[in-house]
Chains A and B, each alone.
Chain A
Amino acid sequence: MSRMSSEELGTRLIAYIEGDVALEDDPIDLDTDLLLSGLVDSMGVIMVVNWMSDELGIAIDAVDVVLENFQSVRDMVSYAQRRDAVAAD
């Protein structure tokens, strides 16, 4: 099975967060700060972590679930790249 591209992961993450996670219906993009407002709360972070584990088939270590890796969709994609879970750009 071919790996998801990082572009595809970004698009799917945005759709998932907009559709199921965000507590506001404003559109988001790769660089939206998801944590500055009430857009994604602590439950939302858990939802996103679980979604990424399921979609990418990787176990996300608790020590990696930190602000730096989840502040924006771009941060999440680059984390997935570092984990070699999606193709690099």
Chain B
Amino acid sequence: MTVSDDPRSPRSSRVSLLSDLTDLARLRTVVADVGDLAITDGDRSLTHAAFTEAVARSAGTLVAAGIGPGERVAVHLHKGVASFVAVHAVLRAGGVMVPLDPLAPPAHANRVLQDAGATVVITDTAASKLGALLGGTRAEVALVTGRARAVLDEPPSEVPVRVVDWDAGADGELLPAPVVRDPDDPAYMIYTSGSTGRPKGIVHTHRSGLAYASSAAAAYELGPDDRLVNIASLHFDQSTFELYAAPLVGASVVVVPDAVLRFPASIAALVAETGATVWYSVPYVLRQLTARGALDRHDLSSLRWVLFGGENYPPSELAALMRLLPGARFSNVYGPAEVNQCTFHHLDDPPPDDALVPIGRPWAGTDVVVVDEELAPVEAGAPGELLVRTPTMMSGYWDRPDLTAAGIVTLPGDPDAGRWYRTGDLVVDDDAGRLVFLGRIDHQVKVRGQRVELEAVEAALLDVEGIHECGVVATGEGGDVELIAVVVADEDLDEVTVRRSIARRLPAAAVPAEVRRVASIPHTSSGKVDRTAIMDQMKAGEDRL
């Protein structure tokens, strides 16, 4: 069902008419003034009317290129107005949107493409990298823009894809109505690193995506006057806030382009110029903004709400930022990509130095339970694994029934046989009824808010020529987590070579900050890498490569 254009229809009932994400982009023109700003990246800006039209034309290009309902379409674009248009065009054309990290090595994106079985790729990558990106995948059509347009003159010989000019869609045919999808059909997939190095795709349906957008819009009181800062890349689930919650209420989005993101002072300038009102990012970016954003010379008083999540925020640094932005409300938000978001904690005052900021309480419509290893609820105040039941939950992992069965469970003796997601996160309910994050029950760590599986980094290291054995540990706490690799390696291997080899295979967060040479790698009695022993070894000190 599509959105009613009837201006007499009350706003809330129009929103409730949406049953999928396919017509979400056009909702902007219904709930807000068509001439208002929909999106800007500092370079290019579109009104609600122009954004909606751009989405409809790009969707027309996709349908003309032959995509059918349910086909996976990869969006491999640097962040900007164009990437937001592309995402909504894929949804409108009935495709399943698979965002790829444009800054990750082509080999990493290639593995995701293969796993998703994507048949269409929208890319602005350097033409020289197209072969590495698409080789061995099921991609039939490459829609090229930006630097990738160089292949329009000289199609790549190494990969048998049809090349289509994505920019030509700007003058192309409109797709007048969205391709109808069932609410339980997949809408988008977020890929995360699996522990074996094989990436796993988190499948969100139109229903779960829309449920998240509605919950977020309600929880943070979003409206047409809001301007949401987009920091997260499309492949990182935090971006679903700006992608889907903003159009639902006709809020506008200020996209911080990838290049600008490396410069806190440039981010601060963009926020000040655009009068942005709501910010959501990992603490790492806010800490950089505080330290190097020249906040004494940029006026960020337009920000009314600052959301952060993905890792612990060192309390003293959070307190410092809260004092710099006294007019903003601050909230710690929590939720693995599998459930979008599920808990929040609003801070009324700067936190004390010595206590972790809680992840808080579940938001409306969401249930949580803290359980032991047998999935039985723990006693009040005891730590345990957090389980979540929510309409914003994924339908499962793409093509991985084994992982889905392990991740989504029913509880023993539960009469509703509800589906609960096992977060793998250790939490404790503090005495005020708020959850506090304590750590992981496995070897997943967060580096600058990005998930990294230590086993996946080890697997990549073992593929580097000259490395015979290795172990990876995470050091530091909160926002200062760094990976340190210890290796048994050939004499002539140097650290830069190792880091570059890993950077060619894995996202930047997975590249070890240091590589140290050891005589041997300690193992536990069961034959696994003994990370505790490695940490002890490191305190004794070894040589860096």
Residues in A whose Cβ lies below 8 Å from that of B261:
42
Closest beta carbon of chain B to A73's beta carbon, Å? 15
Stretch of A7-15, A20-28, A80-88 lying at the B interface? A20-28
Question: Which residues in chain B, 293-345, are within 8 Å of chain A measured between CB atoms?
Answer: 293-294, 297
Closest to B285 in A: A42
A23 contacts which of B264, B265, B500 (Cβ < 8 Å)?
A: B500
Q: Is the CB of B496 within 8 A of A67?
A: no
Taken together as a complex, chains A and B put the C-alpha atoms of A63 and B264 apart, in Å, by 9
Q: Is the CB of B263 within 8 A of A23?
A: no
Residues in A whose Cβ lies below 8 Å from that of B266:
66-67
Given contacts A23-B503, A23-B511, A62-B294, contact A42 B104 (CB under 8 A): no
Question: Which residues in chain B, 497-536, are within 8 Å of chain A measured between CB atoms?
Answer: 499-500, 503-504, 508, 511
Residues in B whose Cβ lies below 8 Å from that of A19:
496
B288 at the interface (CB under 8 A from A): yes
Question: Which residues in chain A, 32-89, are within 8 Å of chain B measured between CB atoms?
Answer: 35-38, 40-42, 44-45, 61-67, 70-71
Taken together as a complex, chains A and B put the C-alpha atoms of A40 and B258 apart, in Å, by 11
Closest beta carbon of chain B to A14's beta carbon, Å? 16
Given contacts A23-B503, A23-B511, A42-B288, contact A36 B263 (CB under 8 A): no
Taken together as a complex, chains A and B put the C-alpha atoms of A25 and B503 apart, in Å, by 11
Q: Is the CB of B103 within 8 A of A63?
A: no
Q: Is the CB of A38 within 8 A of B294?
A: no
Q: Is the CB of A63 within 8 A of B288?
A: no
Residues in A whose Cβ lies below 8 Å from that of B292:
62, 65
B105 contacts which of A38, A62, A63 (Cβ < 8 Å)?
A: A38
A45 contacts which of B103, B126, B258, B263 (Cβ < 8 Å)?
A: B263
B227 at the interface (CB under 8 A from A): no
Residues in B whose Cβ lies below 8 Å from that of A65:
263-265, 292
Given contacts A23-B508, A38-B105, contact A67 B263 (CB under 8 A): yes
Closest to A71 in B: B259
B92 at the interface (CB under 8 A from A): no
Residues in B whose Cβ lies below 8 Å from that of A23:
499-500, 503, 508, 511
Q: Is the CB of A62 within 8 A of B503?
A: no
The listed residue with most A CB atoms (<10 A of its CB), out of B147, B259, B261, is B259
Question: Which residues in chain B, 229-279, are within 8 Å of chain A measured between CB atoms?
Answer: 258-266, 269
Q: Is the CB of A38 within 8 A of B104?
A: yes
A42 contacts which of B126, B262, B294, B504 (Cβ < 8 Å)?
A: B262
A62 contacts which of B103, B104, B265, B499 (Cβ < 8 Å)?
A: B265
- Interface 0/1 of B100-135, CB less than 8 Å to A: 000111000000000000000000001000000000
B76 at the interface (CB under 8 A from A): no
Residues in B whose Cβ lies below 8 Å from that of A61:
294
Residues in B whose Cβ lies below 8 Å from that of A62:
264-265, 292-294
Residues in B whose Cβ lies below 8 Å from that of A24:
500, 503-504
B88 at the interface (CB under 8 A from A): no
Residues in A whose Cβ lies below 8 Å from that of B500:
23-25
Given contacts A25-B500, A37-B103, contact A63 B294 (CB under 8 A): yes
Taken together as a complex, chains A and B put the C-alpha atoms of A20 and B292 apart, in Å, by 22
Closest to B497 in A: A25
Closest to A49 in B: B292
Taken together as a complex, chains A and B put the C-alpha atoms of A21 and B387 apart, in Å, by 42
Interchain residue pairs A-B with the least CB separation, the first 5: A35-B259, A38-B103, A63-B294, A23-B503, A62-B294
Q: 8 A-B contacts, Cβ less than 8 Å apart?
A: A23-B500, A36-B259, A38-B104, A44-B262, A45-B263, A64-B265, A65-B264, A67-B263
| Known contacts A23-B508, A24-B504, A35-B262; 10 further A-B pairs (Cβ under 8 A) | A19-B496, A20-B496, A25-B500, A38-B103, A41-B262, A61-B294, A62-B292, A63-B265, A63-B297, A67-B263
On B, residues with C-beta under 8 Å from A are 78, 103-105, 126, 147, 258-266, 269, 288, 292-294, 297, 496, 499-500, 503-504, 508, 511
